[in-house]
Structure 1
């Protein structure tokens, strides 16, 4: 069955990546549909912030229920589907392992089954994660073995192989993006990058004097979220479906991120930041960095923003947000 031309359906459009992806696709001339569990009750703050809420056709869909997924896919008949939904906090996954793995795994398989069952020639992108690799002493590429170190990563790894299985067994155009950390002002406060930016701003305004974090010696490959959704869109425009690592290729310690953020406010982080084991995970990744050379070679994609510039953007957005609150 031929799908509607240049129509995209994003499961999980209410999140950071969903909002930026929706904007990118709208700018490219797509008719964009998006889902959340309760379209009437969701705030869609990301879509509002980007000024595109009225340009996205919204649907309620529960990814754990096949009928709900299949009905949405059948009604929209998209040419492209993006799976960006599921519980996305690594830390929370240790507290809710069953719910996390279930939301990631079942959602992915239900979308794949819906495409297969309905016989749609729809291209499918699934959001996998750098967490699948675990520690990466050398930058991870598409051939690096998986070693997941959290329930979230276990779910993402299983989902990755489900996509590969459906691609091989049923000849679906289905691929996964192994995305390393990517941030933006749309990130919720529970993410450490936003916690750092807002904490530094609060200290600069003398609302508090201390910011408490977990381990500071962790190393991460941080990128800019709008760059990463561009890579997602490019994956579905290839002649054949392939999986890609999406990263900047450059790693920094969390301490460096903290230092850069505090310097933006004229602060010495060592006088204000404390480390508390209560914020550390049962098992964590000490070093995470990716090798995006395949994406550069085949997609023509490269990250535009490395960590120092990323921090500048996050700080600028936070200052604007606070100035608007004062008004």
Structure 2
């Protein structure tokens, strides 16, 4: 029975990945920060087969302890301060967790495994936000990184550090350059879930409007459940490598709104959306679109959920949830 350790187990990717690995017969450990983590109960409810360990990406000794307890064959580093807008307000903490945290994970493997470093395979969840001010369309594994947020800068540090440990120590390390991916498990602070929740509440007569920033920003959106499959496939390869994980299609927030409102039975939605300039980024990333050819060819990976299906899935889930909450 192979063993896997997942950081960021409380996020959407962590839970989908845990479900995937458990279905494949893995012994799965999840790293959570603090004994009284408020999301611990959520993980225990959603993915009861996961064994939870306490650790902190900023504390090297706690990571070494976690490796010794889990004895992992595979490590997936999904943890990060991942809300981009928040990273301008907390640039230092974002850098310590999202950037230096990767170095701590890698160094902990080196110290734990010693001369037998090849026994552990490592996957770093990198981000399309590293491309920022895009230098090439679509973006590939070789595209120059030009991050436009503290989050993107921290992710770029972790990305290059992972490559460095692969080349310096022979660690089987892969980077998954994940383009934007969503699901009903997405946190309410993210614009897509903010939209799906607001649309559900507007359709049920619980709210009248939603306030947003730049609705013409474009992203390459996929389903989180598909993207964790790509990460698992990376660690089944003979060698570690870097892969763009994307759909190869781009859509605007305006399109997301249109599909979401239509799914909820609202065709004329313009009056429901208000502009709030405070929600604009200090440095905007206008369009990201990935070239997933390498993942297709080397991993045999393809996304299974279309953009419209993803939006409808999220709206349906929030309509069901809001009906239950409204009935209490």
TM-score using structure 2 length? 0.94
Taking the aligned partners of 1:78 and 1:275, their CA distance within structure 2 comes to 47
Match of 2:120 in 1: 122
Q: Is the 8 A contact 2:199 2:315 kept in 1?
A: no
Does the 8 Å CA contact 2:201/2:322 hold for their aligned counterparts?
no
| Counterparts of 1:168 and 1:195, CA distance in 2 | 41
Structure 2 matches for 1:19-34, cutoff 5 A? 19-34=15-30
Alpha-carbon distance between aligned partners in 2 of 1:92 and 1:282, rounded to the nearest angstrom: 11
Shift of 1:46: 5.0
Counterparts of residues 227-238 of structure 1 (less than 5 Å): 227-238=226-237
1:208 match: secondary structure = coil
Structure 2 residue ranges without an equivalent (≥5): none
1:45-64 CA distance string (max 9 Å, x none): 653563x22x1110110110
Unpaired runs of 5+ residues, structure 1, are none
Distance (whole Å) between structure 2 residues aligned to residue 179 and residue 64 of structure 1: 23
CA shift in 2, pair 1:139/1:46, >3 Å = farther
Task: Tell me the distance in 1 between the aligned counterparts of 2:233 and 2:252.
Answer: 30
Residues 132 and 157 in structure 1, CA contact (< 8 A), matched pair in contact too: yes
Deviations 1:154-193 (Å, cap 9, x if unpaired)?
0000110000100000010011110000001111110000
The runs of at least 4 aligned residues of structure 1 exceeding 3 Å deviation read 39-42
Q: Deviations over 1:6-55 (max 9, x none)?
A: 100001211111111000000000000001112443333653563x22x1
For residues 265-309 of structure 1, the C-alpha deviation after alignment (integer angstroms, 9 at most, x for no partner) is 222221211111111110110001101010000000011122111
**Distance in 1 between the 2:323 and 2:211 partners?**
25
1:102 aligns with 2:96: yes
2:313 equivalent to 1:313: yes
Q: Displacement, 1:124?
A: 0.3
Q: CA RMSD in A?
A: 1.4
Deviating more after overlay: 105-114 vs 249-258: 105-114
- Distance (whole Å) between structure 2 residues aligned to residue 211 and residue 44 of structure 1: 30
TM-score normalized with structure 1 length: 0.95
CA contact (8 A) 2:178 2:244 kept: yes
In structure 1, distance between residues paired with 2:45 and 2:318: 13
